[in-house]
A and B are shown apart, each in its own frame.
Chain A
Amino acid sequence: MFDYSFQWRPALRALPDMLAGAWVTFETAALSMIFGVLIALVLTVMRQAPNRLLRGVGNGWVSIARNTPSLFQIYILYFGLGSLGLHVSSWLALLAGITFNNAGYLAENFRGGLKAVPGTQMRAARSLGMSAFQAYRMIIVPQLLRIVFYPLTNQMVWAVLMTSLGVVVGLNNDLTGVTQEYNVKTFRTFEYFALAALLYYLIAKLIVGLARLLSWRLFRY
């Protein structure tokens, strides 16, 4: 029944490459989070706009991002745009797909956070002579970020996990991609992927730990 000898040494030999892949994974996730937060802020404002078109676009984005699989979103960016003559690299398709997904989920979080910021804050800021943009930038958004900090951390972990989907559209330099390359060369599937799983776990824990440190620094007063 059990005639399999584990070979951990080749997996350990691949560790430097996998660590390099882990860095790519982290970078991709961080980039997608930065763009995702920016787009989500725009979407949140758009969804409250009096203009029906803006509201429609915002609501459409959020509901598509939340109601279809992220793999599907990456697929449509990779294969769908290709059929329109726009050939994007698999890394760009992955980044755009995750950013799209992040923006949708974060916009929903921000909407909840915005509800928790009292409406009087906005009115007070405006009556002190701030423009709408200034009021958002200096009064609303800082309070909002404090409320959504925990969901933001969660989403960052999610983004890291989602980067593993890049391998399905042929990305070969992120953690899963590197692992898969070694896997198809040696067929030591279990060993390589166990190591990758461990690395993903460590990255996730690192992010949660860093976020905890950051929140302790930021929200101290």
Chain B
Amino acid sequence: MFSTSLTVNDVLYLLEGAWVTVQLTAWSILLGTFAGLLFGLLRALLPRASLPLAWLLDVFRSVPLLIQFVLFNSLKSIVGLNLSAFAVGCIVLGIYAAAYFTEIVRGGVLAVPLSTRRASRSLGLSYGQDLRFIVLPIATRVAFPGWLNLVLGVMKDTALVMWIGIVELLRASQTIVTRIQEPLLVLCIAGLIYYVMSLVVARLGARLERRWQEND
């Protein structure tokens, strides 16, 4: 009854797909973190002037990611950029992550009490020093759980890049299903891999969070 035609090579193929998922997540989070940090600081420190930026980023949060992929992919062809599908995936996911991270950073910076910042300025710290030594450490602790959630969210959203033709974990499982016709088994293995990856990230994050809280 429990005979299966799943071979070791198939499992290796799945793991290769999982590696693509990890790479996509890492690159887009890297891009999203830098852009989100910049935009978030702008949003928190110059709220009036960066209002158009907020509207723009809101668009990326209210349009389905699938449609963003298709749109950017066709735009790339229209403009004539020579980007690989992988790069397109990273850029779209990166912008998407940045749109979310901006709000997280903004929330973190605004969570620093104004009196604390005034106190630091009155102790003679410059504006930059205040940002670096007072706002950054406090805001990081506030924003970190949100960032971690974002990493997990982006990792799950990488599943959508199969629509523009990248073979990642879910697409790899699809290919194997087409060959051996055992969808439940293969999909369960793919799901298990996703689950384990999420769990590892969540555990590492929780540990880091606890270590930071020790000397608070």
Please report A residues at the B interface, Cβ cutoff 8 Å: 1-2, 4, 63-64, 66-72, 75-76, 79-80, 82-84, 157, 161-162, 164-165, 167-168, 176, 179, 189-190, 193-194, 196-197, 200-201, 204-205
Q: Which 6 A-B residue pairs are closest in the complex by CB-CB distance?
A: A204-B62, A164-B64, A69-B159, A79-B183, A67-B198, A69-B156
Please report B residues at the A interface, Cβ cutoff 8 Å: 59, 62-68, 70-71, 73-75, 78-80, 152, 156-160, 162-163, 170, 174, 177, 181-184, 187-188, 190-191, 194-195, 198-199, 202
Ordered by A's residue number, 18 sampled pairs between the chains whose C-beta atoms are within 8 Å are A64-B191, A66-B198, A67-B194, A68-B191, A68-B198, A70-B156, A71-B170, A79-B177, A80-B188, A83-B181, A83-B183, A161-B64, A161-B65, A164-B67, A165-B66, A168-B162, A190-B74, A193-B74
| Inter-subunit contact A2/B156 (CB<8 Å) | no
| Inter-subunit contact B78/A71 (CB<8 Å) | no
CB distance from A164 to the nearest CB of B (A): 4
Instruction: Compute how far the CA of A190 lies from the CA of B80 in the bound complex, rounded to whole angstroms.
Output: 14
Instruction: Compute how far the CA of A70 lies from the CA of B156 in the bound complex, rounded to whole angstroms.
Output: 8
Question: Which residues of chain A are near B62, meaning CB under 8 Å?
Answer: 157, 161, 200-201, 204-205
Question: Which residues of chain B are near A161, meaning CB under 8 Å?
Answer: 62-65
B183's contact among A82, A179, A190, by CB below 8 Å, is which? A82
Which of B152, B162, B163 has most chain A Cβ within 10 Å? B163
Question: Which residues of chain B are near A179, meaning CB under 8 Å?
Answer: 67
Main secondary structure of the interface of A (DSSP, over half): helix
| Inter-subunit contact A64/B183 (CB<8 Å) | no
Instruction: Compute how far the CA of A64 lies from the CA of B74 in the bound complex, rounded to whole angstroms.
Output: 34
Given A2-B79, A168-B163, A190-B75, check contact A67 B195 (CB 8 Å). yes
* Least CB separation from A208: chain B residue: B62
* Least CB separation from B185: chain A residue: A83
Given A4-B78, A83-B184, check contact A72 B194 (CB 8 Å). yes
Instruction: Compute how far the CA of A72 lies from the CA of B191 in the bound complex, rounded to whole angstroms.
Output: 7
| Inter-subunit contact A79/B187 (CB<8 Å) | yes
16 further A-B pairs in the complex, CB-CB below 8 A; given A79-B177, A200-B64: A1-B80, A67-B202, A68-B156, A69-B156, A69-B158, A71-B160, A72-B170, A75-B174, A76-B187, A79-B183, A80-B184, A165-B64, A189-B70, A190-B71, A194-B71, A200-B67
| Inter-subunit contact B198/A84 (CB<8 Å) | no
CB distance from A97 to the nearest CB of B (A): 12
CB distance from B14 to the nearest CB of A (A): 13
Question: Which residues of chain B are near A75, meaning CB under 8 Å?
Answer: 170, 174, 187
CB distance from B35 to the nearest CB of A (A): 20
CB distance from A17 to the nearest CB of B (A): 16
A193's contact among B71, B162, B184, B194, by CB below 8 Å, is which? B71
